[in-house]
Structure 1
C-alpha cells in the first residue's frame, strides 16, 4: 500500500484568535531513516493552545504554526534505521520531542510541539523515533491523546519530584481541568486523600465520584484555604496542584503543610500582586516547583501506573469534536464548561 503524499492540517497564519485557524492540504514527505510516520487518530486540547492562538503565549511561536501538542495515532511507516517501532503500533508523541530523561536545556525546550515547532493538528506527521511512547492497550485513541501534556504534567508534579507523593498524603487540586482531574485520579490511585476546589457544584460532584474526599466551592467559600485547614485538622496539605498562579498563590501557601510542596502547572488566574513568597517559604519550609510537562522516561513510568490501575486512572473526556470542528472545540475549551479533556477526533 502506497504512503499518503498529502496531509490536511490546521495552521495559524495570524495570531489573535482561534477563529484564525485555517485548514488546508500540504505535501507530506516520507519518513527519514530515523523517523516514523504516524496517522493521527485523536488530538486533545490544552489551555496552552488557547494562549498560543490568542497571541498571549509568553514563549516563541513558529510563524504559521501548526497548533496542538497532544496526539495519539498509528504508525504507518518507519525509517530504515528505526528498530523499536513497526507499522501498526499505537503511539503518542512526547510534548518535548527531545526530552528523553530529566535533563532540560534550551535546545530541548525548543522541541515543544505546537509552539516553536509545528504541532499535531494534522492528519499525518513524522516524528523522531525516540520521541514516541506506546499507548496502553486498554485505552482508546481519544483517551490516549489526553496523556502527553495533562496526564504527564500531573504525574510529574506528584510522583516525580524531590518528595514524591506517598500513601496517606493529602493533595489539594485547584479546579477540574485536565491536569487537575488527572492529579486527582493519580493521587487516589496512590492512596492519598484529595481535596478539590471548583466554582461549580456540578463539577465538584464529578470530583467526588472520582474519589475526592473533600470538595470546596471557592465562589461560595472565598476563603477556601481556611476550609482546607479545617479539613486537615489545621495541618495543611502535603501537595498542591496550583493552576491559578499569582491570584491563588497566597491562599495556597496558607493551605500548605509545613514542609509541603506547591506544584505550579499554570496561571489561569492571570496576574495579581504576588504574596510574600520569601516570608511564607521560610515560615513553612515550603517548596515551590514549576512543572513543565515531562520526559519520555516519565511518560513510560506513568503508563505503568495507568496499566496497574486501569479504571481508577481512565482519562475523563468531556466532549469529542470532529476534525472539521476544530474551531468549535477551541471555543468549548475557552468556555470552561468542561470537566476533564476536550478532544478532536480524526
Structure 2
C-alpha cells in the first residue's frame, strides 16, 4: 500500500512510500481510507514554530473518512463495508479534558491518515451517516467538531444572540452554518469581496472587511448597538484577540480555537479584565461530541463547504493550497474511490 511521510520537516519532504499492509488485532479495524481533510495544524506541525514538530518521518493528517475492510477479534459493533470518520483525539472518549487525552495525537506522535489503509481501535472512529459523502465526512473530525463545540459547548447559542466568526477557514465556515441553524445572528469578517458574498450566501447577517476596517472590533460594537457579540469564535490568535475582546459583550465568551497569526497588537491584563468576558479553549472535542456533531450535520442537512478536492497524487499541492490562505472552507484529498 502507499503512504505519505514527511522525510524532512518541509513540504518538499513529503514523499510517497510503499509499505506493508497493516493487520487488525483484537478490538481493531482495518480501514480503507477514502478521503482526508487538511487543517492549519498540519502545516504548523511541519516547522514546529508554534506546535512541537511532528515525529520524524511520520504520516501526517488527523482527519479522515474511511470504509471498514476487516475487523479484528471480538469486534461486534462494526462490519466490513461500514463507513466511518476518525476521532481527532483517539483516546479521549468523554469526560473532562486532561493532558493525557492528547497522547497518540495523529500527525504528532502517532502516524496520521494520509495513507491508503490504516488500523485503529474500534473506539477511535464513529459511523458516517448515509447522507454525507466520504469527502464531506473527512471535513468533520477537527473543524466541524471545533465549531460545534464553540457554538454548542458549555452554553449553546440561540435565537436573539449574536456570534462573530473570523475569516473563511473550515472552523469559521462551520461555525457560521451551525450558529445560523441554531437561530443566532452571525457577523463574519473577511478581506475579500468575493468571499464576503459567499459568507452572505451561507447566511451571514453582516460581513466586515477587516483590511478596510482595521478596528473591526469597534465596528462589531456598532452593529450590535454598543452591546457586543455573545460569542466570538477566535481562530486568529495573537493577531486578532485584541479586536475580539473589543467585539465581545460583557459576560460574553471568546472561544480560543486557533493561531493563524503569530503576532499582533500587545495585549495586557487590563484588556482581559476590561472585556468582562470569559475565555474558553476548545481542544476540538471528545468522541461523544464528534457523534453529536456528525448527527447534527446530517440531520440538519448542513452541507460541509469544500473549497477543493485534490487527488492522492496531488497531496503536496493540497498542502500548498492550504498554505496560500485563498481557500474558502475545507481542503480535501481523495485517497480512494
TM-score tier after normalising by the smaller chain length: over 0.9
Partner of 1:333: 322
* Equivalent-residue separation in structure 1 for 2:283 and 2:8 (angstroms): 26
Residue 32 of structure 2: SS of its match in structure 1? strand
Normalised TM-score (structure 2): 0.96
Partner of 1:239: 231
Pick the aligned partner of 1:287 from 273, 278, 284: 278
* Equivalent-residue separation in structure 1 for 2:174 and 2:110 (angstroms): 26
The alpha-carbon deviation at position 111 of structure 1 amounts to: 2.1
Answering whether residue 298 of structure 2 is matched by residue 304 of structure 1, we say: no
Cα deviation per residue 1:285-322 (whole Å; 9 max; x = unaligned)? 31111111111100111122112210xx2100011100
Answering whether residue 306 of structure 2 is matched by residue 317 of structure 1, we say: yes
Partner of 1:267: 259
Q: For the Cα contact (< 8 Å) 1:36–1:126, is it kept in 2?
A: yes
**Counterparts of residues 220-235 of structure 1 (less than 5 Å):** 220-235=212-227
**Counterparts of residues 1-346 of structure 1 (less than 5 Å):** 7-15=1-9, 17-59=10-52, 61-161=54-154, 163-276=155-268, 278-310=269-301, 313-346=302-335
* Equivalent-residue separation in structure 1 for 2:121 and 2:307 (angstroms): 31
Structure 2 residue ranges without an equivalent (≥5): none
Cα deviation per residue 1:1-34 (whole Å; 9 max; x = unaligned)? xxxxxx200001211x212101011112310111
Q: For the Cα contact (< 8 Å) 1:48–1:57, is it kept in 2?
A: no
* Equivalent-residue separation in structure 2 for 1:128 and 1:52 (angstroms): 24
* Equivalent-residue separation in structure 1 for 2:22 and 2:304 (angstroms): 33
Cα deviation per residue 1:217-266 (whole Å; 9 max; x = unaligned)? 00111111121111100110000011111121111101100101101111
Normalised TM-score (structure 1): 0.94
The alpha-carbon deviation at position 60 of structure 1 amounts to: 5.3
Deviates more, 1:111-120 or 1:58-67: 58-67
* Equivalent-residue separation in structure 2 for 1:107 and 1:169 (angstroms): 35
The alpha-carbon deviation at position 337 of structure 1 amounts to: 1.1
Residue 150 of structure 2: SS of its match in structure 1? helix
Cα deviation per residue 1:131-187 (whole Å; 9 max; x = unaligned)? 1111121111001100000001111111112x2222221000010100000000000
**RMSD of equivalent CA atoms:** 1.3
Residue 92 of structure 1: SS of its match in structure 2? strand
Q: For the Cα contact (< 8 Å) 2:160–2:184, is it kept in 1?
A: yes
